[in-house]
Structure 1
Amino acid sequence: MKLYRIKNRQSFGFSAENPTGQKNGGTKGKDCEKLRPCIQIAPGETVTLCDTDGPGMITHIWFTGYVGHSFVMRIYWENEEFPSVEAPISAFFGCAYDENFKDRDGNYIVLNSAKILTAPGRGFNSYWEMPFAKHCRITMENRSKKEETLYYMISGWYGEIPQDAGYFHAAYRQEHPVTKGRAYTIIDGIEGRGCFAGVTLATGMNGNNTCWVEGEAKMYIDDDQYPSMNYTGTEDYFCGSYGFGNDIILNRYQTFSGMYTGLFAIMGDNREFYNGQQRFLLYRFHEKDPVYFSKNFKMTIDNLGWTGPRYDDYTSVAYWYLEKPSKLAKELPSDEEMVMK
């Protein structure tokens, strides 16, 4: 979008200070006076953060406060009873290892892309565009056993949306550990016409790290028996090469964070060649190379090293657009099953 092009739109923002998102609906406090900067969510409670009629577009979501896996975000489109987005916020924003704030160098974990930004201190930002024709509802559930704090801002605009606008979807998956010898499923059960938009992936090494990035990413489009999109390795799918530098010259993984892809964080001692028990956080967003499908879509990725199949811990969130809101294929694991240290 060109900012100099003036559109017939009205901006909105839902926050703790303006929970209804109404025009003129923010704080009645005086200058330099905070009345309600955050909310408390009780154990087992689900709160509605945004409830509004369209047409319009969600353009930015910001969260901080408690940022662990026990907070589950859900987004419902067009008054449907089922969510089209369901994921713990830590994994949605690429930080599935939510108990690990520091990377291997002792710095805050930072993801700096065009679609998701995780800023120092765990400021979670989403720039995914999320159009809706009639209605949007966004909720947050606290699945922990104690009260937690949430700071939030959900902003966008009301106005005409394109007739061919699709609905944003996102779904969480995990295997702790991956079944040895069987591909990890990033996403399946997607039915309809749409576009695969990307994935965030967290991997935890179990045992010696014998080049875990040998696994191929495979995309099955419209009843494929064999993948139409077949990448040659895990680091290749995430647009790197040679073990992100670990295979040649440096013998040490090097992080990077670009507009659409990155290996943005490593946790654990990485100074020794192929040292085990490391944690890696990656993302790939198909902004410039979208993957279109007409009937259905599935994506898998192998957990494979030089010595053969592995049994590492994999956690992911897939993102896609569909021509109409769709129910997600699988339910979330329990809060206890999501613990990743």
Structure 2
Amino acid sequence: MRNETSGSPLYTVPSGIQTRWASPENPQAAKGAGGHANAGRKGAPCFPLAPGECKVLAEQASGSGTIRRIWSTLNDRSPEMLRGLRLDFYWDGCGSPAVSVPFGDFFGVGRGHTAAFECEFFSSPEGRSFNCYIPMPYRSGMKVTVTNTGEKQLNMFFYDIDYTVGDAHGEDVLYFHAHYAHLPATLLRQDYEILPKVSGIGRFLGTNVGVKADQERYFNVWWGEGEFKLFVDGDSDYPTLCGTGTEDYIGTGWELGTYSHRYQGCTVADHERMEFCFYRYHVPDPVYFHQDIRVTAQQIGTTSPEQRAQFRQAGTVLRCTGAEERYFDYVDEAKQQLWENFERSDDWSSCAYFYLNRPERG
């Protein structure tokens, strides 16, 4: 049996590699410096974080290593706090972060929600904690920080960052990156950009997405007919990799309910509030790029005949999908029996994860 993250069997000890745990009282994970507060009787398990304050969670000034696990919990897990805290990851002494993402979105659930779930990269056993298992290698140092960008004080921030030092990383080892995006109202016929164009060599790991559908304009009509598109290695107008719909991209069908599987799932499916959070991670189906990558999702809805009548009664103008500028026909009786797709605007947010052959995105 082999451990994929370390490349060595579970029953061997790799030469020259040591284990370190960064914690609130020992962010540098210094040898023999853990658990010393209050005479060793649990004196510093957490810290407060005031508005505007930044804390170093883990730091290695030089040398190679690999972050292997991150765990955290907060006494305030409100949407305001989960979106107000920001995590930043720096590799090899770089001045700009490879990761700069709201706390909650980084840990796999969007829109400031919590949920009990488990998948390949993230978990929250009872919906009260945050775990990440993505291996994050570096060659000459790392730093992880948390910043309170909100207006509310957090009283208790608990965490552990578990890593190894001394790892020998070959030339083919890539750096971990994450990209956060949010559009409160997407633009009609302009696909939402999960990952703007990134140049280099790497691997797209996947994304978690949060959607708040516009009920005021579209009622409770299904919003997820749009295709997920991955433009790789010179693709321009049309992608090489293209899915068939939102729920299809995450491995299910016919709209969304809650489930958490190893590589895909939907942690939030609130049909009353029309709020959804879901994920897809490309582990058994790797997405490699050798030149560049860009990832988008369309905002397309569909209507049943009954829903079409609801739009007609409300006087809503809906633009049909397709190259031609065409709108729903509420006069032709035959067309009233059609299911038809339409362009729409909703609130979308996402966190995309990928490896890249350099420590800064550039």
The TM-score normalised by the length of structure 2 is 0.80
Cα deviation, residue 279, structure 1: 1.0
- For 1:249, the equivalent position in structure 2 comes to none
Q: Which of 247, 250, 253 is the equivalent residue of 1:238?
A: 250
Q: Helix, strand or coil for the counterpart of 1:7?
A: coil
CA offsets 1:310-329 (integer angstroms, 9 cap, x no match): 2111110000001111236x
Moved over 6 A (4+): none
Structure 2, unaligned runs of 5 or more: 4-8, 303-340
Query: Which structure has more RCO (C-alpha within 8 Å, separation ≥ 6)?
Result: 1
- For 1:3, the equivalent position in structure 2 comes to 10
Give distance in 2, aligned partners of 1:79 and 1:312. Answer: 39
AA at the equivalent of 1:201: V
Give distance in 1, aligned partners of 2:182 and 2:214. Answer: 15
Q: Which of 216, 219, 225 is the equivalent residue of 2:230?
A: 219
Cα deviation, residue 92, structure 1: 0.9
Cα deviation, residue 61, structure 1: 0.7
- For 2:325, the equivalent position in structure 1 comes to none
- For 1:157, the equivalent position in structure 2 comes to 164
Q: Which moved more, 1:147-156 or 1:132-141?
A: 147-156
Structure 1, unaligned runs of 5 or more: 102-108, 245-253, 270-276, 329-341
- For 2:350, the equivalent position in structure 1 comes to 316
Using the aligned pairs only, state the percent identity: 32
Cα deviation, residue 118, structure 1: 2.2
Q: Helix, strand or coil for the counterpart of 1:243?
A: coil
Q: Helix, strand or coil for the counterpart of 1:18?
A: coil
CA offsets 1:187-245 (integer angstroms, 9 cap, x no match): 1131111111110001111122322221100011112121000111111111111224x
Give distance in 2, aligned partners of 1:314 and 1:220. Answer: 20
Relative to its length, the structure with more helix (as a share) is 2
AA at the equivalent of 1:242: W
- For 1:114, the equivalent position in structure 2 comes to 120
Q: Which of 86, 95, 104 is the equivalent residue of 1:72?
A: 86
- For 1:296, the equivalent position in structure 2 comes to 292
Cα deviation, residue 32, structure 1: 8.3
Matches within 5 A, 1:1-341: 1=3, 2-8=9-15, 9-29=17-37, 33-52=41-60, 53-65=62-74, 66-67=76-77, 68-98=82-112, 100-101=113-114, 109-148=115-154, 149-163=156-170, 164-207=172-215, 208-225=219-236, 226-244=238-256, 254-267=257-270, 269=272, 277-306=273-302, 307-327=341-361
CA offsets 1:88-113 (integer angstroms, 9 cap, x no match): 01111123232x55xxxxxxx12210
Give distance in 1, aligned partners of 2:294 and 2:220. Answer: 28
Q: Residues 14 and 154 of structure 1 are in contact (CA less than 8 Å); yes or no, is this contact kept in structure 2? A: yes
AA at the equivalent of 1:135: G
Q: Residues 61 and 154 of structure 1 are in contact (CA less than 8 Å); yes or no, is this contact kept in structure 2? A: yes
AA at the equivalent of 2:119: S
AA at the equivalent of 1:83: P
Q: Residues 110 and 265 of structure 1 are in contact (CA less than 8 Å); yes or no, is this contact kept in structure 2? A: no
Give distance in 1, aligned partners of 2:120 and 2:361. Answer: 27
Q: Residues 50 and 137 of structure 1 are in contact (CA less than 8 Å); yes or no, is this contact kept in structure 2? A: yes
Give distance in 1, aligned partners of 2:275 and 2:294. Answer: 25
AA at the equivalent of 1:114: E
Give distance in 1, aligned partners of 2:267 and 2:127. Answer: 15
Q: Residues 209 and 279 of structure 2 are in contact (CA less than 8 Å); yes or no, is this contact kept in structure 1? A: yes
